[in-house]
Structure 1
Amino acid sequence: MSIQGIFPIEKWDFKSESILADLPGEDLKLLMARKLEQAYKKGEIIFKEEAYPSGIFYIARGKAKKYKLDKDGREQIIYVANTGELLGYHAILSGDNYPDSAAVMEDSIIVFIPKEDFLETLRQSDVLNRRLLKTLSHEFVVLTNSLTLFAQRSVRERLALQLIVVREKYKVDFEPGMPVEINMSRDDLASLVGTARENVVRMLSEFKSEGIVETRGRRIIVLDVKKLIKVANFS
């Protein structure tokens, strides 16, 4: 089912796919003048934290995770990006190295846009400037909410909320009433929630017994998103 009207998804999900949507033709042509399109296999790294940013990346097809590594080399996923979204532009705008890493979560097609073309388009396009400013402002709200989530919510509530958010990214040809299938490893889900893998496995089993989800291997099928919203404690 759709969650419009029953859950404020905009408070938890970036919307960078709107940056290039219906961008004026001349702006899009300038931006994509020297684009490089490349196929990535599941798990391949797009860019690494602290690397020099030579450009930005557009997800033409697939999904990618943005993450940081702790001192023990464990991933903490910050965000899951979907088809149509941009990656890497924060480093270009700030003039710093990449603040995090990105890797594809499934076989994907990624378009590389050189830094010079991105900045030149930014100089010439009022539309792109306004959209980036709006997106960055929205991302600040999302990140603030996420910090509050980790500080104030239980692991069970965090898992429920992340399943709600990730469910939106896995909708394909969605019709009201259709179950949504999430294809994500338990390790990635645990990293996104900020807990141990065994906790995610145990709680998914609980959700399954409560009729909220069904599992088929690594796939999670959300059967009752209303119950998930109730568990997440966001009515």
Structure 2
Amino acid sequence: MSINGLFPMDKWNFKSHSILEDLPLDEAKPITEHMHDQPCHKGEIIFREGAVPSGIFFIRKGKVKKYKIDTQGGEQIIYIANTGELIGYHALLSEERYPDSASVLEDSIIAFVPKEDFLQVLNNSKVLSQRLLKLLSHEFTVLANSVTFFARRSVRERLATQLVVMREKYKENYEPGMDVEINLSRDDLASMAGTARENVVRILKEFKEDGSIETRGRKIIVKDVHKLLKIADQ
């Protein structure tokens, strides 16, 4: 079922997929001419926190997690980027090192755009500059919403919300009535919900028992999104 009108998905998405759409051909040419596609396997690192950026990355197909490592070596997932989204541009724009890491969640195709080409288009394109400014403003809102949400909600509420968000991100060629399989490890779900793996396993079992979800191996299928939305208090 659709969650339009039931869940504010815009509060959880960065919308970077729209930045390069329909740019004037002469402005987009430096990017498209030198964009290099690279098949990436599940688990492959795209960039690491602290590295110097040499360009940006466009997700042709697949999913990528952005995350930070804490002082104990634990992983905190900041965002799941989907097909059509850009990653790695924050560090390039600020002329700083990467503030986080990115790795592939599933076999994907990632296009690399060299720093010089992206900046050339950005400097010459009013359209791209305006879109990027709007995107960065929106991202601030998303991150502020996430911080507030994590501070005020229980683990159960956070996990229910993340399952609703991931259900939307894993929709491919979706038609009403189709099952949507969320293919994430329990460790990744724990990182997203800010809790221990054991808590995720326990709460997923509870969700399964009340009919909110089904599981097929590690895959999760949301069967009653209304129940999850009620738990999430959205």
Superposition deviation, residue 34 in structure 1: 1.6
Corresponding residue number in structure 1 for 2:110: 110
Give the 5 Å matches for 1:23-102: 23-102=23-102
CA contact 1:53–1:91 (8 Å) conserved in 2: yes
Q: Secondary structure in 1 aligned to 2:208?
A: helix
Q: Give how far 1:25 is off.
A: 2.0
Residues 124-203 of structure 1: matches in 2 within 5 Å? 124-203=124-203
Q: For structure 1, which runs of at least 5 residues remain unmatched after alignment?
A: none
Q: Deviations over 1:34-54 (max 9, x none)?
A: 222111110000000010000
1:123-143 Cα distance to aligned partner (Å, 9 max, x none): 111111111111111100110
What is the rounded CA distance, in whole Å, between the counterparts of 2:9 and 2:159 in structure 1? 15
The CA deviation at 1:18 is 1.1
| Poorly superposed stretches of 4+, deviation over 6 Å | none
| Residue 5 of structure 2 corresponds to residue 5 of structure 1 | yes
Secondary structure at the counterpart of residue 201 of structure 1: helix
- 1:177 counterpart SS class: coil
Q: Distance in 2 between the 1:95 and 1:70 partners? A: 23
In the alignment, the residues of structure 2 paired with residue 23 and residue 111 of structure 1 have an alpha-carbon distance, to the nearest angstrom, of 18
Q: Which amino acid aligns with 2:182?
A: I
Cα distance between partner residues in 2 of 1:53 and 1:195: 31
- TM, length-normalised to structure 1: 0.97
Q: Distance in 2 between matches of 1:24 and 1:179?
A: 38
Provide the TM-score with structure 2 as the length reference: 0.98
* Separation in structure 2 between the aligned mates of residue 62 and residue 106 of structure 1, nearest angstrom: 6
Name structure 2 gaps, 5 residues minimum. Answer: none
Secondary structure of the 1:127 match is helix
> Take 2:225 and 2:27, find their aligned partners in 1: how far apart are those partners?
40
State percent identity of aligned pairs.
Answer: 66
Aligned length: 234
Q: Secondary structure at the match of 1:136?
A: helix
Instruction: Return the letter of the residue paired with 2:114.
Output: P
For 2:59 and 2:148, how far apart are their aligned partners in 1? 29
Q: CA–CA distance in 2 between the matches of 1:187 and 1:37?
A: 29
Distance 1:63 1:86 in 2: 11
Q: Higher mean Cα deviation, 126-135 or 41-50?
A: 126-135
Question: What CA RMSD, in Å, does the superposition of the two structures yield over aligned residues?
Answer: 0.9
1:122 and 2:122 equivalent?
yes
